Chain A
Amino acid sequence: GAGVSQTPSNKVTEKGKYVELRCDPISGHTALYWYRQSLGQGPEFLIYFQGTGAADDSGLPNDRFFAVRPEGSVSTLKIQRTERGDSAVYLCASSQDRESSEQYFGPGTRLTVT
């Protein structure tokens, strides 16, 4: 079956612009995670959804970042007033449920803010 997909694969935007990054989890997976990975670092937790609700958004760096998952499947990570420091690879992962041990990762979206 299809894995986790993310679109776009690459996004270049100007400082101050608004961007949306999309994640399509594996069908039937109720848990969804967003991470941010800077060059040479491990992924950094941003937010976790269980179903439609954000169960833990404590990793979001500031209020310019917001994520939604209105129907419990596709999720969108939204970044307002982008800054150069937002440049990173944004990874999405899904797992079958909260207790599931294995997260399946998408290929990521590489965001570059110029």
Chain B
Amino acid sequence: SQELEQSPQSLIVQEGKNLTINCTSSKTLYGLYWYKQKYGEGLIFLMMLQKGGEEKSHEKITAKLDEKKQQSSLHITASQPSHAGIYLCGAARTGNQFYFGTGTSLTVIP
């Protein structure tokens, strides 16, 4: 079973609209990472959250980690076509392994 569940799997929004992507874990997370991937390219780091209740923003993207450190949301305000891509949450297990959610594909219609 997938340790990190993302929802929705895909999202199509009109340019200018707000949207939220969720990432849920059945276990307490040591750290939660958000990445963006464009087709044919590697992953681009967006943000990392470590503390319960933490919230970070970069440009129009805000990510939050809940108090229990089991759920994170990524919110995009006033979406633009440049936001299109696949958003992945990731987390580290004890030791050295790093694992990802299944991803959320975002399409922004101009």
Distance, CA A35 to CA B99, complexed state (A): 9
Residues of A74-114 contacting chain B, CB below 8 A: 91, 93, 98, 101-108, 110
B95 smallest CB distance to A (angstroms)? 6
Q: Count how many chain B residues have C-beta atoms less than 8 Å from C-beta atoms of the other chain.
A: 22
Verify A107–B101 contact, CB threshold 8 A.
no
B97 contacts across to A, CB distance below 8 A: 45, 48, 56, 58-59
> What are 13 A-B contacts with C-beta separation under 8 Å?
A42-B4, A42-B88, A48-B97, A55-B96, A56-B95, A56-B96, A93-B43, A103-B45, A103-B98, A105-B35, A105-B44, A108-B40, A108-B41
Interface residue A41 (Cβ < 8 Å from any Cβ of B): yes
Q: Is the interface of B mostly helix, strand, loop or mixed?
A: strand
Distance, CA A35 to CA B43, complexed state (A): 11
Distance, CA A108 to CA B31, complexed state (A): 24
B102 — nearest CB in chain A belongs to which residue? Answer: A42
- Which residue in A41, A50, A91, A107 is a CB contact (below 8 Å) of B103? A41
B31 smallest CB distance to A (angstroms)? 7
List 5 tightest A-B contacts by C-beta distance, closest first: A42-B100, A105-B42, A56-B96, A105-B43, A48-B96
A41 contacts across to B, CB distance below 8 A: 102-103
Verify A101–B48 contact, CB threshold 8 A.
yes
Verify A101–B42 contact, CB threshold 8 A.
no
Verify B42–A106 contact, CB threshold 8 A.
yes
